[in-house]
Chains A and B, each alone.
Chain A
Amino acid sequence: MKIAMVTEGTYPHQFGGVSVWCDQIIRGMPGYEFELVALVATGAEQVVWDLPESVSSTTEITLWGSPPGGPRSGRRSGFPSRLVRRLIDSVLDMSPDATNRFGEVMRQLFDYAQRGNLSAALSSGKAVKLLTEAWQDRWPHTEQTMPTVQDAVTAMQLVEHCLRPLSHPPVQADVVHVATNGLGVLPALMAKWRYGSPMIVSEHGIYLREQYLHSPKLPYRWPVKTLYLGFLRQLCALGYREAETITPCNIYNRRWEEKLGADPSRIRTVYNGVDPANFPMSDGEPEVPTISWAGRIDPIKDLETLLYAFGQVHQDMPQAKLRLFGSPPKGRESYLERCKALVAELGIGEAVVWEGHLDKVREAYNAGSIVALSSVSEGFPYSLIEAMTCGRTCVATDVGGVTEAVGDTGLVVPPGSPARFAEACLTLLGDDSLRHRLAAAARARALEFFTIDGAIGRFDEIYSFLAAGHPLPVVPPEPGAGDLTEDQPDDQPEDQADDALPVEAAV
């Protein structure tokens, strides 16, 4: 059986979480033949992963290099005025049913791209003219944001680059598995339209949310962002609607998927997994109470909260230590400097150790009595499930899939709340029997739910069913992320009911 795996800017040209995940899946299922379809920037990227035997081929689709098309003449097919106008309309339309029209347009653009030169058509003066007309017709905003000629040119150019996959021959496979939503669904949709191949959309972070969060850094004016992000929103929504199965790596992500039109019955959460052989049970605990943290030193990890919290821990438990394992990304060391200054300001320099990068991350978990994670944003953090596999209980912030990972084997507190964080750390550090009980539970939970074999088994099952043309077996419906928080008992005391709020410090 042949699986086509589609990636965008990750495997096999880059390292990182998604690439690790792709490699794990392909290596874990040597019985399948894999064809990689990698969306890359210029085509000058090099393959940095050793590809397993089961990878039969790698097709690169360049989004920013010289345009595809070449000998095929756009003239023969004529300029697709109606199609381009409908594309623009469906992107600028914010009503939910616009996604259906967007889907039809994509399919027709695909037909056009297979016989004519779509890139030439979209970068032509006529396309720019259609966009300026569409903008003029419906621009509802103040003079200040009126689009310029430059905006129209730039926006059409971005759309042209995004749609380049449509000009490539569709991939032929029994199942097309897209590693992230977004542009990667285009090759999958093409295979579906041409050969009827079922598609799976996996998601680690929510593609669209990440694009939105990144958008302030884009060098474009607002009208361009409106069109570009509108295009990506419709494309993501189309990906969710067309996928036979959506496999987020945590339940939390379902909220966005359903919001964008995903059919809840098609969503199957497949948690990331770790290899237990790499994270054996820790033997013993450090002699002094120690909080350990491991990760990339980056503002998203909100180390300030951890440091403030540790300041309070230090007051109550002067012998306690905080060990931080990890380094900042190159060129972004200023955050580490800020954190070090904060340590000095809090007067906890004696008790805080910056350990730097560690090759064997499991030693970081072994070094702590408990493991902390104070991030303001996470998908399904490997550091937690690795720590749990090593037999460590965690204190973590309630973001992304953290509650799903930790369950009731650790303490989860609201993000950005040093007081709550400190309290949870003190509870665990001060109660040996509780800590040991939770640590054992954490390891058991990780071995039950978050092993790599578990993840591979679920994909194996999904592949077989989809390739055989069966719908996935009915499983008890997974609760939405909203339900995750419904179970809070209503009869909590007033101060407890407030717990989930990122509100006033508990003084």
Chain B
Amino acid sequence: MSASISPTLPPSVALHNGNGSKPHRTAVLRAEAPKPRDVEELCEKFAAVCESAVHPLQIAGALEFDGWSDQAVRKRYGVSDVFALAEEMYRRVPRRPAEPPPQPDPWRISKWRPALHGLLYGMPTVCFAAAAGLLVGRGVLSVMIVALLSSWALSQALAYLGYMRLGQGVPVQAQRVLLAGLGAGIVGVLVAMDFVSVAVPVYKPVFIFGLGLGSYMLGATVLLVLGAERLLFIALAPGVVGATVFLLLGRPEHLEHVAWAVLAATPLLALGLAVARTSRGAELRRRVVRRPGSKPPKLLTMADLRSALPSAGWGLVAGGLLVFPVAVGMPDHGGVNTGALLASLPLALSMGAAEWMLVWFRRRTQRLLRGTRKLGAFATRTRLLLAAALLQYLSVTVLLTAAVTAIAAESGLIRPTWSAGPQVAAYMALGCSMFVSLLLQGFGSRIFPLAACAAALALEIAYRHFWVLGQIVVCTALLAVLTGYAAVVLGSAARHAS
């Protein structure tokens, strides 16, 4: 055998084997897999590839990967090259592609999580009841409304940004955003409340309670986005337990200050735990050794902030719709709106049911996508699922309201009267509207629910002299409009792209 340096590219001879003498060993340790004798056998060997090939070239790729070269197939099967062989195999073997293995269901969640969330949303109600003695005097209503609305708006925006970053698969970035947003949010609530206290004189403890409320909302949002429900329970524990004991004891006056101090522990804990949970990520981020000259990734761009605006707006408007009946009060009950009090707790609890129904709807529509071949059939069945989800949500909310009313009546906290019925009905319609809004938002439609809810709030304010009748009409109309829109939008399969 001679070996000389090839004078020019390309090298032209692949040196197969050595000098042509017969191999001299007697034992072969591995019986090499016998090579298919003819194309038919080759097709059998490559059956899986051929049956699911989308093009002859795909078979050619597989043949080459198995070690077949043009020269080899030419000598063995008498075809011109691998491509020709692949085309022949593509012709011979009919397409019978295997189905892909079932994919993990991204909407699979624990049954307990929505119930847990409902509890988490409902529990703070007890704290309000316990703090009733604190919330008196001038400016209370304004401060509470501003604190609620600003913190709702900001926490909706914060949740949107946090989930967006989590969705990009960078938990550390999500933590940074949440931590920064928490700080900015508290400043925002503080500024909003300062504006109010300039306009109306505000009793200091009320101001502090309002700030505590806002801080709790933002801290709880951070913990929920990060899936730290357990920490949120820890934060809620002192306030809720303290408030419950205080209420059960019949609000003893000498314990009032103790109760308030215990209440204050909840927002402080929520804030502390939220900071602890996010600063770890921010710290990790700082310690990452960065190459000189490379810039750290931007926390948020203007476009990110702009995209959070509809969420903030919706938080503001939804909050407005919820507190509006309380704000205007009732003409004939000394300002106390029994219906609003009766509906607020079940509505908060029902948000857990809403979460569950959102997931249920997703899973059912995903199954429908996989099992339907015609777009028309898909649209019809999706609308039926929408109706079913709405009905189920409504049933749960009615049951919760009945249960809460019964308990409230039994324990003598509130004396329900039939006259509160229309107000409760208005809240039911509003709750359903919130549910449909959340559903639409989950499918990427954020502007329409915002616009519809804003219009509804404007109408309620404009026709406030109709009291509860106006609210019933507006909320029912809102529900009808949102449901109609959802029926149109969600009927389109493209909306269900995961």
Contact = CB atoms under 8 A, between A and B. Distances in A.
B375 A441 contact: no
B70 interface: yes
B6 A312 contact: no
Contact of B28 (A222, A256, A271, A312): A312
A438 B291 contact: no
Interface in B52-90: 52, 54-55, 57-58, 60-62, 64-72, 75-76, 81-83
Contacts of A142: 95-96
A496 interface: yes
B69 A128 contact: no
B334 interface: no
Interface string B12-48: 1111111110110111111111110000000000000
B70 A408 contact: no
Interface string B477-498: 0000000000000001111110
Nearest to B20: A496
A229 B71 contact: no
Interface in B347-378: 366, 368-375, 378
A255 B173 contact: no
Contact of A315 (B1, B27, B58, B297): B27
Interface stretch (B97-105, B193-201, B465-473): B97-105
A474 interface: no
A50 B289 CA distance: 13
Contacts of B57: 208-209, 212, 233, 256, 259
A408 B3 contact: yes
B494 A156 contact: yes
Contacts of A216: 52
B43 to A, nearest CB: 17
Contacts of B496: 153
A167 to B, nearest CB: 14
Contacts of B419: none
B29 A500 contact: no
A48 B67 contact: no
Contact of A502 (B1, B12, B35): B35
A373 interface: no
Interface in B295-338: 297, 303, 307
A173 to B, nearest CB: 23
Given A485-B70, A505-B31, A153 B493 contact: yes
A493 B496 CA distance: 65
B81 A255 contact: yes
B380 to A, nearest CB: 12
Residues of B in contact with A, size category: 35 or more
A414 B69 CA distance: 9
Given A129-B375, A399-B67, A497-B75, A47 B294 contact: yes
A277 interface: no
Given A149-B493, A411-B18, A500-B75, A209 B27 contact: no
Contacts of B169: 42, 44
A350 interface: no
B17 A225 contact: no
Contact of B497 (A144, A148, A157, A424): A157
Given A311-B29, A498-B75, A153 B66 contact: no
A230 B492 CA distance: 25
Interface string A487-498: 110001101111
B375 A132 contact: yes
B67 A416 contact: yes
A420 B369 contact: no
Contacts of B72: 414, 500-502
Contacts of A441: 3-5
B29 A149 contact: no
9 contacts: A142-B96, A219-B101, A407-B6, A413-B17, A419-B32, A485-B14, A487-B12, A492-B20, A500-B16
Interface of A: 42-44, 46-51, 65-66, 70, 94, 123-125, 127-129, 132, 141-142, 144-150, 152-154, 156-157, 208-209, 212-213, 215-216, 218-222, 225-226, 229-230, 233, 251, 255-256, 259, 269, 271, 304, 308, 311-312, 315-316, 346, 376-377, 397-399, 403-404, 406-420, 422-424, 427, 434, 437-438, 441, 444-445, 448-449, 478-479, 481-485, 487-488, 492-493, 495-507
Given A225-B54, A408-B15, 9 more contacts: A46-B297, A148-B371, A149-B493, A220-B100, A229-B55, A316-B25, A408-B4, A419-B32, A484-B12
Query: Closest 8 CB pairs between A and B?
Result: A407-B11, A415-B67, A499-B16, A125-B492, A222-B97, A485-B71, A150-B369, A403-B14
